Amino acid sequence: MKKNIPQHIAFIMDGNRRWAKKNKLSSINGHKKGAQNLEKIIIWAGKKKIKTITVYALSSENFTKRSKTEINYLMKLLKNFMLKKKDVLQKHGAQLNILGDISVFPKDVTTEIENCVRDLKDNKKIILNMALNYGGRAEIVNATKNIIKENISPTQITEENFAKFLYTKKQSDPEILIRTGGDLRISNFLLWQLAYSELFFTNTLWPDLKETELEKILLDYQKRQKRYGK
């Protein structure tokens, strides 16, 4: 397991509500269990010397289409995560980076997110990217607008330069995408960054994703060959 360890793994954390239904609990309990499992995944990634993990925590579609009650709870859960798990992230040397537009969140939530980002900014062991109110198409549009604002000429726009305007600027692209919950799509997630990622789909619901399954995915990844068109 020491050879060819990916530097960046992205996760689509799907299945919290189905997990709750399966266990005869409210959807709120499913989200809470999912947040608890995220902490375990971060610790696992740190032990494996994986440098970056990116998690699809809340899509822009989720934010606009879920019920007000569920969104209010997710905001509360997010605030509590920032308050209660900051010390855990600090202990494990995790830096926090936000992908997406959190300006529309309640002020108390954005304040705690910004405080957590600030307090963890000097950590170097692992980067945790949290995609919040995030959409891949919106990220590309936003990058394009910022390029225009900078008055960059068309001849200067290369793939490398364009990537500098994405939320993940200065980061490597994910070698692996893992989606839990059984669906076989990427759902507007990291559309630019996933161009050459290896995709893994599992029927396991996010709260049930364990280290043993992650280890099997890594073994499978190590057997794959990337040719980049060669």
User: Known catalytic residues?
Assistant: 14, 62
- Distance between CA atoms of residues 56 and 174, nearest Å: 13
List beta partners, residue 198. 176
Residue in the block written with tokens 């494996």: 48
CA–CA gap between residue 87 and residue 174 (Å, rounded) = 26
User: Quick check: 134 and 119 in contact, CB under 8 A?
Assistant: no
Q: What 3-state class would DSSP assign to 102?
A: coil
* Amino acid at site 31: H
Separation of alpha carbons 25 and 13, rounded Å: 18
Q: What is the DSSP letter of 173?
A: P
